[in-house]
């Protein structure tokens, strides 16, 4: 197997000015050229790509052995066409996404600037950074977590509202980890300062390698798209420890225009204000969609 994209290293030099690049920064410190999201660049090191290719090849062999080479190929094709990222969030956050002060006010940006709030010193937020920091270092706070999905739903344990994102808005800045990052760190015994095991992360272009490497052993003859969605995202809706999914890492935030579909978790009892927030988000999303048509 060969990988299509050039193998970059986080320690590479800038293609524009030749200066050394930081593994954790998106822009060249010297000429400010955009050198790509650091989480994506890390997936594209020769070492990781080789390891991922090896795991993918092994998976295909295993699938063939169990008589599922057809399913392996179908799933691989399907992934390129239909797989997307779903971010799950509380209803209040979804509602907030659809509030747009810039369209409501005149001179809003001039008066309050881009950031209305003085953001918290999240670098000191050990809890939020404990895991993210191990995986991403200083840009951990720039990572938005989602799940790879064949459908519109995500993980109900992470929020009431599932937003499937338009691929074009995130494909250059999204990477994938084969499982929940907490579980990954736990399973691999990773501690701060450890070198991360290779072959378990992928950029957008190679996301199907990661999924097939993970799921090959669970393929069986005659499986359909809904079966694969069921094994790709597993959750009992209550305990996150029982969740299983491929984790998406999006570098930096997104806005409402990045949302392709918006759905609610079914069967979960919501508080009154959560229900209201959810209905607002859905109504606003539908209204935007109607306008775009």
Partner 1 sequence: MIGISSRSAGVLLIPKPGIGEYAVLDVVEGQEQDPVEAQYIYSAVQDWEEIKGTDPAALLETAKREYWLVRTVSLLHLAIGGLEEPLEKRVLEHVEEILGSRVSSEKALDRLLVAPLANPRSPLTPANSALSYGFSAVASILDELAELQPLLHRLTDLWLGLAETAFSDFSESREMIWTTLVEKCGMKQLLKAGSRHEFTTQWNLLAFHFFAPQSRSGVGILGKELSRRLFPSEEQEEIIAASLTEAAKPTSGDEEEVGVHEAFKRVERQIAAIAQAVSEGRDAKAEKFLRELIRQQTSFSGGESHVVKSLCNIAQRCADMFRMDFEFVCLDKALQLALSDAWTLIQYGNHLKRAGNYDKALEVFDQAEQLGESYVARSSIADVYSQQGDYAKAIHTYKAIPNWNNEPKVCTAIADNLRRMGLMDESEAAYAELIHLAQQGLSKFADSEIRAQIGIAEIAKRQGKLKDALRAYHGIMARKNVDDRERFFCRLGLCHVLKLMDKFDDAYAIVDEVIQDYPFSMEARFVRGSILGLIGQELKGLKDLPESIGPPSWREWLRPYYRGLLLLKLQRYGDAKKNLVEGLSNAIASGEEKAIVRMAAALYFLREDETVEVDGILSQIPDLHDCHAQYLSLILKLHSATLREDLAVMESLRKQIAEIRIVDERLEKVVVALGERNFSLAITYETDALLKLAA
CA-based nearest residue to 273, from 92, 93, 122, 101: 92
Q: Which is nearer to partner 1, 178 or 243 (CB)?
A: 243
Q: Which is nearer to partner 1, 81 or 126 (CB)?
A: 126
Q: Which is nearer to partner 1, 50 or 145 (CB)?
A: 145
Residue 254 and residue 165 in contact, taking contact as beta carbons nearer than 8 Å: yes
Tell me the closest approach of the beta carbon of residue 61 to partner 1, in angstroms.
35
Q: Which is nearer to partner 1, 9 or 24 (CB)?
A: 24
Tell me the closest approach of the beta carbon of residue 23 to partner 1, in angstroms.
21
Radius of gyration of the chain (CA): 20
The contact set with partner 1 (CB under 8 A) reads 87-90, 92-93, 95-96, 98-101, 103-108, 110-113, 115-122, 125-128, 130-132, 141-142, 144-146, 158-159, 182, 240, 253, 271-273, 276, 279-280, 283-284, 287
Phi, psi of 91 (to 5 degrees): -60, -35
Residue 79 and residue 204 in contact, taking contact as beta carbons nearer than 8 Å: no
Q: State the DSSP code for 242.
A: G
Q: Which is nearer to partner 1, 11 or 287 (CB)?
A: 287
What is the end-to-end Cα distance of the chain in Å, rounded? 42
| Burial (Cβ within 10 Å: 0-12, 13-18, ≥19) of residue 183 | middle
Q: How far is CA 92 from CA 265, 274, 277, in A?
A: 14, 7, 6
Tell me the closest approach of the beta carbon of residue 136 to partner 1, in angstroms.
12
Tell me the closest approach of the beta carbon of residue 233 to partner 1, in angstroms.
14
Tell me the closest approach of the beta carbon of residue 204 to partner 1, in angstroms.
19
Q: Which is nearer to partner 1, 183 or 218 (CB)?
A: 183
Map residue 190 onto helix, strand or coil. coil
Spell out the residues 6+ positions from residue 192 whose beta carbon is closer than 8 angstroms to its own.
133, 134
Beta bridge partners of 176: 202, 248
Q: Which is nearer to partner 1, 16 or 116 (CB)?
A: 116
**What is the distance between the alpha carbons of residues 53 and 212, in angstroms, rounded to a whole number?**
11
């Amino acid at each position: 197997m060969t990988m299509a994209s050039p193998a970059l290293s986080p320690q590479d030099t800038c293609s524009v000015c030749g200066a050394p690049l930081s593994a954790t920064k998106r822009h060249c410190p010297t000429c400010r050229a955009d050198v790509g999201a650091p989480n994506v660049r890390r997936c594209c090191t020769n070492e990781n790509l080789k390891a991922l290719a090896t795991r993918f090849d092994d998976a295909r062999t295993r699938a063939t052995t169990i008589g599922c080479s057809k399913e392996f190929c179908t799933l691989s094709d399907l992934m390129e066409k239909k797989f997307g990222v779903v971010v799950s969030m509380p209803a209040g956050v979804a509602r907030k996404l659809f509030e747009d002060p810039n369209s409501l006010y005149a001179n809003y940006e001039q008066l309050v600037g881009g950031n209305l709030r003085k953001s918290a010193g999240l670098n000191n937020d050990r809890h939020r950074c404990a895991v993210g920091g191990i995986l991403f270092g200083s840009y951990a706070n720039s990572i938005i977590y989602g799940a790879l999905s064949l459908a519109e739903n995500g993980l109900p344990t992470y929020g009431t509202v599932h937003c499937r994102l338009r691929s074009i808005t995130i494909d250059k800045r999204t990477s994938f980890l084969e499982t929940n990052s907490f579980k990954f760190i736990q399973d691999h015994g990773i501690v701060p300062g450890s070198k991360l095991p290779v072959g378990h992360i992928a950029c957008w272009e190679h996301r199907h390698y990661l999924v097939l490497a993970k799921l090959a052993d669970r393929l069986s003859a005659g499986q359909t798209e809904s079966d694969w969605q069921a094994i790709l995202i597993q959750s009992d809706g209550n305990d996150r420890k029982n969740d299983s999914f491929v984790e998406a890492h999006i570098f930096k935030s997104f806005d409402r225009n990045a949302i392709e579909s918006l759905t609610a978790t079914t069967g979960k009892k919501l508080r009154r204000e959560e229900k209201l927030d959810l209905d607002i988000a859905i109504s606003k999303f539908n209204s935007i969609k109607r306008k775009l048509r």
